[in-house]
Amino acid sequence: MGRVGRPVRRTRCGSGSVQRTTSSHGPPSWQVTEVADLRGDRLLVLYGELDIVTAPRLSALVDALRARRHAVALDLSEITFMDSTGLATLLAAGAELRRPSHAVRRVFELAGVARLLGDE
């Protein structure tokens, strides 16, 4: 078990190991998998809903990683629902946004900021 009772799996990837930590603490509609590379960069794969209930947890996680000087990217491919709080959280995070789901792309389009997602 990793810190805070979270399971940790280590896998080989290329020339080094990657640490993956999955946390399902919090609302049942929310899950994050943290993938660390050898440089210390972090990819957070978000699952489920990013809304007024779950967005503060994402903010706290990104802030904690940034406080340790980790570069952070967010994989949004598994987000099934997002509200305006989720949008504001993603914009405030200042992280690289990868693979936005249809739900994420739709909210960005409605808000008129779809260009921030790039051409994925």
The Cα–Cα gap between 107 and 103 comes to 7
Which residues lie closer than 8 Å to 44 by C-beta, 6 or more apart? Answer: 32, 33, 34, 35, 58, 61, 62, 72, 73, 74, 75, 95
- Domains plus CATH for the chain? 3-117 (3.30.750.24)
In tens digits, the chain (120 residues) has pLDDT values of 333 333 333 333 333 434 444 444 444 577 888 888 878 789 999 999 999 999 999 999 999 999 999 999 999 999 999 999 999 999 999 999 999 999 999 999 999 999 998 765
Sequence-ordered strand ranges (E) for 16-120: 16-23, 30-36, 42-50, 72-82, 96-98
> Is pTM, for the whole model, over 0.85?
no
